[in-house]
Amino acid sequence: MLTWVEKYRPKKLRDVAGNPSSIESLAKWAEEWKSGIPKNRTILLYGPAGTGKTSAAYALASELNYDCIELNASDTRTQDIINRIVGSAAMQDTLDPSYERKLIILDEVDGIHGKFDYGGLAALKKWVKESLQPIILIANNPWSLPREFRALTLMVGFKKIDQRSILKVLMHICTKEGIETDEKVLKMIATNANGDLRSAINDLQALTEGKKKLALRDVDALTMRDSELKIFDTLIRIFKTTSADRAREAVWESGEDADTILKWLVENAPREYEDASDLARAFERLSRADVFMGRIMRRQDWDLLPYAINAMSAGVALAKQHKYSKFVRYQYPQIFTLYAQTRKAREVMDSIAEKISRKNHCSKKDAKAEYFPMLKIVLNNSAEMGSQLASELELDLEEIQFFIKEERLAKNIYSQANEISAERIRASTTKVKQFSLGEF
Ligand SMILES: Nc1ncnc2c1ncn2[C@@H]1O[C@H](COP(=O)(O)OP(=O)(O)OP(=O)(O)O)[C@@H](O)[C@H]1O
Ligand SMILES: [Mg+2]
C-alpha cells in the first residue's frame, strides 16, 4: 500500500506547504545556475522533520527537469564513495540528453560521521566548494556540521509548518480520499502534529484506516493515545532510518522507558521488516537488548542501559539492507495484554509461593519450581494428604482451585483443611488449659 505521505508528496515547488521565503530562496538559487556558477555552489536546506526539505529538493529537480544524483543516509558515505559518486557528478554535465543538467542531492548530511563514513565529510567539503553542478544538502541539525563547512553553503532554514498550511493539506487529502469530516476534527490533528506535516498526514491515515468518516470522538483518541502516538513516532524513527545516531536519539528523546520501547519493537519488527534476514538480524539484536534489560532490572546496574539502548535502536535500524517505505500500522504489544489477562493467576501463584516460602524457608522461585508440581499431584490424588497440606500452608479456596480444576473436589479439600485447622487450634488451646490447670 502506498503511504499517503508518499502519495501526496509535492511534485512542484509551489505545492510545498509553508516556508514561502525558503522556497523562494531555493528557486532563486536554482535560477542563478542558469547563467553561470553562483557564489554558493551548494545550498543547505535544514530544519525539523516533516517540513518538506526532501520534497522541495526533488520537486525542484522534477520541475527543472534535472537529472538527480543522490546519495542518502542508507548509503555508506566514505571518502571513497563521496569522491567516486559526488566527485564525478560534480565535474561533468549530464550525459543523458533528456535532462537539462545534473543536480546532486545528499540527504541527512548531519548523519555523515563515525567509522562507517570515514573521511566522508572532508571529501564532501571539496565538492561543495568546487562543484560545476548544483548541490543540495539536507540536514535536521546543521549546527552539528563544522562551521567552516557550513560557511561554504547557502543555508536555507525550514521552520515548522504553520497550522493553517497543515490544515489545508489535510483537507485536500480528505477530498481526494473521499473522507467525510469537519474542520474541527482536522484542526485537532493539525495542532497535535506540532508543525510536522508528515506526522499529521500519518495520523490522518492511521485514524481513517478502514473507514470513510472521521468524527470528533475518533480524534479524541489522538490526545488520549498521546503516549501511544509518541511511541509510534519512536518506532518510525528507529525502523525507517539507517543512521545509528538517529535511531539512538529516538530512544533517548522518547518519553517512554527503554523496556517499554523494547516490547513495542519486538511486537512490530515482523510488521516492518519483510526480508527474513533483516528480521533475523533485528531479533538477534533485540534479544541482546533483552538480556541487558534483564540484568539492569535484576541488579539495578544502570551502567548497562546504553548497551541495551544501542542494541535495540542502532542495532535494529541497521539490521535492514534497505528502507521499507510502506505504511505500517504499529500494534500494541500483545505481551501487555497477556500480562493483564494473566494478572489474577499470577497474583494467586505469588501468594501461594509466599506461604510456602515462609513455612519452608525457601525462595518464592524455588517454591514455584519445586513445590508446585508436588502440590498439584498430592491435591489431585489424595484428599487426606491434600487437606493436611492445605491446612498446614493455610491455603484459601482460590489458591486450592489454582491446582484443582474440579470445583467439587477443591471445595471438599478446602472444608476438610478448615476442619483440620480448627482441630489444631482447639488442641493447642486445650494444651494451654491443661498446662495452666496443672500449675495451680
Ligand atoms: N511542506 C510540505 N508540503 C507538503 N507536504 C509535505 C511538506 N512537508 C512534509 N510533507 C509531507 O511529508 C512527507 C515527508 O516530507 P519530507 O520528506 O519532505 O520532510 P523532511 O523535511 O525532509 O523531513 P526529514 O527531516 O524527517 O527528512 C512528504 O512526502 C509529504 O507528504
Ligand atoms: Mg528528509
The residues, ordered by sequence, that sit 6+ positions from 425 with a Cβ below 8 Å of its Cβ are none
Q: Is 18 in the pocket of ligand 1 (CB under 6 A)?
A: yes
Give the integer Cα–Cα distance in Å for 161 and 366. Answer: 59
43 has which bridge partners? 136, 154
Which of 8, 15, 54 for mutating ligand 1's site (highest number of atoms within 8 Å of CB)? 54
The answer to whether the CB of 201 is under 6 A from ligand 1 is yes
Measure the CA–CA gap between 66 and 101, rounded to whole angstroms: 5
Which atom number of ligand 1 is nearest to the Cα of residue 5?
A: 31
Residue 289 contacts residue 262 (beta carbons within 8 Å): yes
SS3 for the chain, per residue?
CCCHHHHCCCCCHHHCCCCHHHHHHHHHHHHHHHHCCCCCCEEEEECCCCCCHHHHHHHHHHHHCCEEEEECCCCCCCHHHHHHHHHHHHHCCCCCCCCCCEEEEECCHHHCCCCCCCCHHHHHHHHHHHCCCCEEEEECCHHHCCHHHHCCEEEEECCCCCHHHHHHHHHHHHHHHCCECCHHHHHHHHHHHCCCHHHHHHHHHHHCCCCCECCHHHHHHHHHCHHHHHHHHHHHHHHCCCCHHHHHHHHHHCCCCHHHHHHHHHHHHHHHCCCHHHHHHHHHHHHHHHHHHHHHHHHCCHHHHHHHHHHHHHHHHCCCCCCCCCCCCCCCCHHHHHHHHHHHHHHHHHHHHHHHHHHHCCCHHHHHHHHHHHHHHHHHHCHHHHHHHHHHHCCCHHHHHHHCCCHHHHHHHHHHHHHHHHHHHHHHHHHHHHHHHHHC
Centroid of ligand 1 to alpha carbon of 202 (angstroms): 11
Give the cell for residue 387: 487437606
What pLDDT does residue 440 have?
A: 47
- CA dist., res. 221 & res. 219, Å (int): 5
Q: What is the pLDDT of residue 112?
A: 81
Calculate how far, in angstroms, residue 17's C-alpha sits from the geometric centre of ligand 1.
9
Residue 75 sits at φ, ψ, to 5 deg, of -90, 150
Number of the ligand 1 atom closest to the C-alpha atom of 55? 18
220: cell is: 479524541
Q: What pLDDT score does 224 carry?
A: 46
Q: Please state, as a whole number, how many other Cβ atoms lie within 10 Å of the Cβ of residue 130.
A: 12
Q: Helix 244-253 and helix 226-239: axis angle, to 10°?
A: 170
140 lines ligand 1 (CB under 6 A): yes
Among all chains, which residue has been given the C-alpha cell 490526545? 223
What pLDDT, on a 0 to 100 scale, did the predictor assign at position 32?
93
> For residues 421 and 391, what is the distance between their CA atoms, to the nearest angstrom?
6
Write the residue with the smallest CA distance to atom 18 of ligand 1: 52
User: Which residue has the CA at smallest separation from atom 31 of ligand 1?
Assistant: 5
Residue 246 CA to ligand 2 centre (angstroms): 13
pLDDT recorded at residue 436? 52
Spatial separation of the C-alpha atoms in residues 172 and 216, rounded to whole Å: 18
The residues with which 156 forms a beta bridge, in sequence order, are 45
**CB of 17 sitting under 6 A from ligand 1:** yes
> Phi and psi for 103 in degrees, rounded to 5?
-135, 125
Mutate to test the pocket of ligand 1, among 6, 164, 169, 198 (most ligand atoms within 8 A of CB): 198
Separation CA 195–CA 34 (nearest Å): 34
Is the C-beta atom of 105 inside 6 A of ligand 1?
Answer: no
Please give the distance, rounded to the nearest whole angstrom, from the Cα atom of residue 236 to the centre of ligand 1.
14
Choosing from 60, 170, 197, 246 the residue with most ligand 1 atoms within 8 A of its CB, the one to mutate for a pocket test is 197
- pLDDT beneath 70: ranges in the chain: 1, 73-74, 114-116, 221-229, 337, 340-341, 430-440
Amino acid at 127: W
- How many residues in the chain? 440
Which of 147, 124, 145, 134 has its CA nearest to residue 43?
134
Spatial distance between the Cα atoms of 22 and 56, rounded to a whole number of angstroms? 10
Measured in Å, residue 181 CA sits from the centre of ligand 1 at 23
Count CB-CB contacts under 10 A for residue 97: 6
CB neighbourhood size of 3 (10 A): 16
How far is residue 212's CA from residue 414's CA, in Å, rounded to a whole number? 57
How many A from CA of 48 to the centre of ligand 2?
A: 9
* 24 Cβ contact list (under 8 Å, min separation 6): none
| Cα–Cα nearest to 45, from 165, 179, 139, 171 | 139
Q: How many whole angstroms from 49 Cα to the centroid of ligand 2?
A: 7
